[in-house]
């Protein structure tokens, strides 16, 4: 695996600041950040490298007024792909999004404008989604004569349930605003989604990396297991995380009465 500093990007912008906050920007504004094959390859590269590059959290944002217009429909049409070829494309999408969901680095998606089709699949692989008033969510696959291929049947159905997902795909129904939060497409609805995403990334980055690794990989893995196996795996993960050196000082501070209490403002 090549380190982050060795990677070059054509469709992404990637930075890592002194707080350990990585910012990954979808940078194809002219095409509304539609996901072509090159962008998916770059997402695989960056999310393979980030966990080992010292990133403590990541903001996933986009250039321009829209987060992401989904699959690059023009590339797909021009390539006139066979079923086998498109299956391989989908496997690359899964690789990218699995790197995100299971990579152990908290990813906060700063959303705006269209979050549609594969764009929603991408956003769903983040750990937290922050929307603004102009953000809208859709799955226009049915109207395009397509089907989801980037994990929506798992992640979007997991967020909102299969009945709502099927409705979105069949009818083109869009969600936005408080309704999008209420159904589970976003966890925050704010004026400035980028500022909020950065604030949340900084908050997450203050946790010990091993705790974040568990939170941002184990929960997802455990959803894939039987309840019995998930409970066993939870105990094993907690055995490692809850006895880490980094937790000792925090526990000591609590015992001494100097640690912050968990109280609403
Ligand atoms: C694109 C794409 C795209 C824009 N692929 N080129 N996704 C969709 O069905 C959504 C398709 N896009 C739209 O509905 C609109 O573009 C937006 C609502 C997102 C934005 O509208 P607008 O007015 O700001 O931009 P535009 O004029 O529609 O597009 C600007 C340019 O971006 C134009 O290119 P140009 O060369 O003519 O300037 C568009 O062609 C280009 N563009 N969206 C390619 N998606 C793994 S399976 C996943 C299946 C799916 O994702 S299905 C959902 C596909």
Question: Measuring from atom 39 of ligand 1, which residue has the nearest CA?
Answer: 31
How far, in Å, CA of 255 to CA of 169, rounded?
A: 52
Question: 58: Cβ below 6 Å to ligand 1?
Answer: no
Question: Measuring from atom 42 of ligand 1, which residue has the nearest CA?
Answer: 31
- Which residues are within 8 A (CB) of 252 and not within 5 positions of it... i.e. 6 or more apart? none
State percent of the chain over pLDDT 70. Answer: 100
Q: How far is the CA of 187 from the centre of ligand 1 (A)?
A: 25
**Average pLDDT of the residues of the chain:** 97
Q: What is the dihedral of CA 31, 37, 38, 43, to 10 degrees?
A: 100
Q: Are strands 57-62 and 114-116 parallel, antiparallel or unpaired?
A: unpaired
At 117-172, the pLDDT tens digits run: 999 999 999 999 999 999 999 999 999 999 999 999 999 999 999 999 999 999 99
Question: 103: Cβ below 6 Å to ligand 1?
Answer: no
- List the domains of the chain with CATH numbers: 4-205 (3.90.226.10), 209-255 (1.10.12.10)
Coil/strand/helix, residue 15:
strand
Q: How confident is the model at residue 265 (pLDDT cuts 50, 70, 90)?
A: confident
């Amino acid at each position: 695996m090549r380190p982050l500093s060795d990677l070059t990007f054509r469709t992404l912008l990637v930075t890592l600041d002194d707080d350990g906050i990585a910012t990954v920007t979808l940078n194809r504004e002219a095409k509304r950040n539609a996901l072509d094959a090159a962008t998916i390859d770059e997402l695989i590269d960056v999310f393979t490298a980030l966990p080992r590059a010292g990133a403590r959290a990541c903001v996933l944002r986009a250039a321009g007024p829209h987060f992401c217009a989904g699959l690059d429909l023009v590339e797909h049409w021009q390539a006139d792909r066979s079923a086998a070829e498109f299956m391989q494309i989908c496997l690359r999408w899964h690789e990218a999004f699995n790197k995100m969901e299971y990579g152990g680095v908290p990813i906060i998606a700063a959303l705006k404008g269209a979050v549609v089709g594969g764009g929603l699949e991408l956003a769903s692989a983040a750990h937290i989604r922050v929307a603004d008033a102009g953000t809208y969510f859709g799955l226009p696959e049915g109207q395009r004569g397509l089907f989801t291929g980037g994990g929506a049947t798992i992640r979007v159905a997991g967020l909102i349930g299969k009945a709502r997902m099927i409705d979105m795909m069949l009818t083109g129904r869009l969600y936005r605003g408080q309704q999008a939060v209420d159904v589970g497409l976003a966890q925050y609805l704010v004026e400035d989604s980028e500022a909020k995403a950065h604030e949340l990334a900084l908050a997450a980055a203050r946790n010990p990396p091993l705790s974040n690794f568990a939170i941002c990989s184990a929960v997802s893995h455990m959803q894939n297991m039987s309840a019995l196996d998930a409970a066993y795996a939870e105990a094993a993960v907690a055995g490692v995380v809850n006895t880490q050196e980094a937790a000792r000082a925090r526990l000591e501070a609590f015992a001494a009465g100097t640690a912050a209490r968990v109280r609403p403002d």
